[in-house]
Amino acid sequence: MLDKRGCGILLHPSSLPGSGGIGTLGSDARRYIDLLHAMGMSYWQVLPLTPPACGNSPYSAFTAFGGNPLLIDLERIIHEGDLSPDRRADNYPEKYVDFAAVTEQKMALLYQAASQFLNRINSSRFNEFCDFCESTPWLHNYALFMALKRRYHGNSWNLWPGDAARPTTDMRRKLSLELETEIAIQKYLQWQFARQWQELRSYANQRNISVIGDIPIFVAYDSADVWGNRDNYLLDENGKSTFVAGVPPDYFSATGQLWGNPLYDWRALKRSGYQWWIDRFSATFKLFDLVRVDHFRGFEAAWHIPADGQTAQTGEWVPGAGEELFDALSAALGPLAVIAEDLGVITQEVLALRDRYNFPGMKILQFAFDHDPANLPHNHVRHGVVYTGTHDNNTTQGWYLAASDDVRAEMHAYLGCDGDDGAGNLVRAALMSVANTVIIPLQDILKLGSEARMNVPGTPFGNWEWRFTWDMIPEGLATYVLSQVKRYDRVSYGENGYAQRSFDSRG
């Protein structure tokens, strides 16, 4: 894949329009896919679909394997009879996600639906899902973890009583019996997410759109992954991290970024043949057609910060599993459809690891005109993926308006343009690139400003909330974008060619 010219849009499902306070996998998602098809797009890129933990970030999740229940379409559940129509809640803002309100109200409705289903039906499809997932331990491990988290009022697992925080095999069996109902509810939520997502992905594939997912290299400390597999991480005898992850001072922060994630004990993972990673990639490729691997350079060497460090400046680079890990993954899963997020402090060793497996890397046009000329279009390569910006950047229009006069002048001179259409000019530059693949945030297609930014790295609150509304899609947008994508030979024809590429912005 990614061996011919194509274009895609970056948008997380939570940013989709619709009732219920957050984007879902329902009818608005299908309408969005219809919009992508009408634009001539080949790809829809999303952020991690896992259930967010700290700060509502999809990059900090309660599990690296499961799906976010908040994305479940309640209308589908109502249609199936697990929830009555009068249980809809629609007193939410349209243009951002109020995570506290949505989580409280929607999870209550999902619990009602799960209880109704489990009391009413003995579903072979649900049982098959549970049995299939039991071939790897993630589902029951996660369900038990979430059941215990509910029992202990949402506290992090290291604050639970010892027999729950560090259960023996016998204690796991005992807890599983005690929490049987809650565990079944958690499995129901994962089943609903999985079936709704696979149907939506199939809808996209039928329209010749491939879905690009995202694997964060690290997991959250307060997660089923760390709780259930403590030996895989650098923890002390009390279960506390000895070192945590981050990056040194960079474009985003003068003091670096202190992420706080636990770091892997690669020697322990090697003794298991990297089975946890094989299971993780296998589960992820069941959800997506391709996968962007976040912070790819961490597999070659990761920035280890002492757990008591106040900033990321005190860390050091420590080698990762590198080739051994990717050789094990390739042996188990075959060629890997991976995009390597190779941004930040990149060494020749990182590039060699990326190129050994023929993974395309990334270029960010916003970086090109002020600090990293490697991102300029004349330095692009065919086997690469070009972005105007990512979820961590300002929107391109917001970036342009905030840029210095010198940066704007350099951009105008390089691109041969003038005026204040920063987003439009950078989108055209991306489409013209020699790189086979271009991914553009929807905010940049709509030329939105900083108010539509998704995330500000290093800030704990107020992120991941942005949503678009259908009245933001002007009439004729799909036709215009299609003409641009067609001009630069990036249209995915599919079986229907251009004839079916129409979209009514009025719905």
Catalytically annotated residues = 294, 341, 392
Would you call 36 exposed, middle or buried from its count of C-beta atoms within 10 A (0-12, 13-18, 19+)?
A: buried
The phi, psi pair for 47, rounded to 5°, reads -85, 175
DSSP, collapsed to helix, strand or coil, labels residue 361 as strand
φ and ψ of 172, to 5 deg: -60, -40
Report residue 332 as tokens: 């188990």
Residue 191 corresponds to which tokens in the numbers above? 């089943």
Give me the residue label for tokens 């940049």. Answer: 444
SS3 at position 363? strand
Pairwise CA distance, residues 258 & 253, whole Å:
10
Q: What are the CA-CA distances from residue 132 to residues 124, 128, 137, 139, 224 (Å)? A: 12, 6, 10, 10, 19
444 closest CA partner among 407, 477, 408, 417: 477
In angstroms, rounded to a whole number, what is the distance separating the alpha carbons of residues 297 and 281? Answer: 17
| Cβ–Cβ < 8 Å for 388, 377 | no
Calpha distance 130→487 (Å, rounded): 48
290-293 and 301-306 strand pairing: unpaired
Structure tokens at 419: 């005026």
The helix/strand/coil state of 257 is: strand
Contact assessment for residue 397 and residue 451, using Cβ atoms and an 8 Å cutoff: no
Closest CA to 136 of 265, 285, 280, 325: 280
- Are 265 and 238 in contact by the 8 Å Cβ rule? The answer is no
Per-residue three-class SS string for 13-73: HHHCCCCCCCCCCCHHHHHHHHHHHHHCCCEEECCCCCCECHHHCCCCECCCCCCCHHHCC
CB atoms within 10 A of CB 237: 5
Write down how long the chain is.
507
Token reading at 84: 């009555």
Q: Is 495 helix (H, G, I), strand (E, B) or coil?
A: coil
Picking from 30, 10, 15, 37, the residue whose alpha carbon sits closest to that of residue 491 is 37
CA 419 to chain centre: 34
Do 443 and 452 contact (CB within 8 A), yes or no? yes
